[in-house]
Amino acid sequence: MFMGDEPIHINAKEGEIAPLVLMPGDPLRAKYIAENFLENSIAENFSIDNKNIANLRNMLGYTGFYKGVRVTVIASGMGMPSMGIYAFELFHYFHVEKIIRIGTCGAVKPTVKVSDLILATSSFSESNFAYTFNDYKEHITYPSNELNSTIMDTANELNYKLHVGNITTMDVFGPYVDYDRLLNRIPKELDIIAEEMEAFGLFHIANYFKKEASCILTAVDSKYSNIVLSSEDREKSLNDMIILALESIIK
């Protein structure tokens, strides 16, 4: 496997990225987290005014401190190919130890309501991402049990309701396709509770490097509901997810 001596997509120097990383999909959400939850992030070389760690493609990233612990937040972009690039470079070139994906998803079980938090225990995908990467033929990838356990304990401490279960990672944006047609192809025993577009790839890359990764999601739509979150409700639910991830990753 060709890796090269330098990362191609993350323009940072050795030591500028913390071993603990939060990864939203949206670059502007990374900026929001840095501005509202991290201390001294502007002083760290990752601000818009100073240096963006992926300035060729505006994949914004910041390093700062949360409760005295150094943390990096960097976006992954949308889909497994983009997630795979950034996760690979973080683990391989910058020696990151833990990544928690924090993203949005569509709920596909009536028990999961819009704005609820979800922790993935596995991700099923029909994608060839893992097979292309290193001939992995299975359709399921798994997060770190240890990191997931920490997240569940932290949710209890924060008194956050957290759905824990299997998700599916798709190559197509869920609301634009027939959910039922796709869900009917997934083994029923997996009891999929949500769909998104990145976790399968993150888990596979983390397992390849023998590093830790987890995925916390906020349900922003549901096949069982016509509810559309107000901007205030959306911000609160996403803030809860961010706090849960930050509190968990520093433990």
CATH code at position 216: 3.40.50.1580
In the chain, what are the helix, strand and coil shares in percent, each to the nearest 5?
A: 35, 25, 40
Q: Is the residue at 3 inside a domain? A: no
Q: Tokens representing 53?
A: 């760690």
Number of domain units in the chain: 1
Strand-pair partners of 99: 21, 213
Residue-wise pLDDT for 14-73, tens only, equals: 888 999 999 999 988 998 999 899 987 654 444 433 344 545 577 888 998 999 999 999
Percent of the chain with pLDDT over 70: 89
Q: Is the residue at 7 inside a domain? A: no
Helices marked H in the chain: 27-37, 80-94, 129-134, 145-158, 179-183, 199-209, 231-249
Q: Tokens representing 107?
A: 């709920």
Q: Is the residue at 123 inside a domain? A: yes
Q: Enumerate residues 6+ apart whose C-beta is below 8 A from 177.
A: 170
Which has the closest alpha carbon to 154: 242, 75, 87? 242
Amino acid 123: pLDDT? 98
Q: Is the residue at 15 inside a domain? A: no
Q: Is the residue at 13 inside a domain? A: no
Q: Is the residue at 202 inside a domain? A: yes
* pTM given for the model: 0.93
Which residues participate in catalysis according to the annotation? 221
| Residues of the domain holding 151 | 20-249
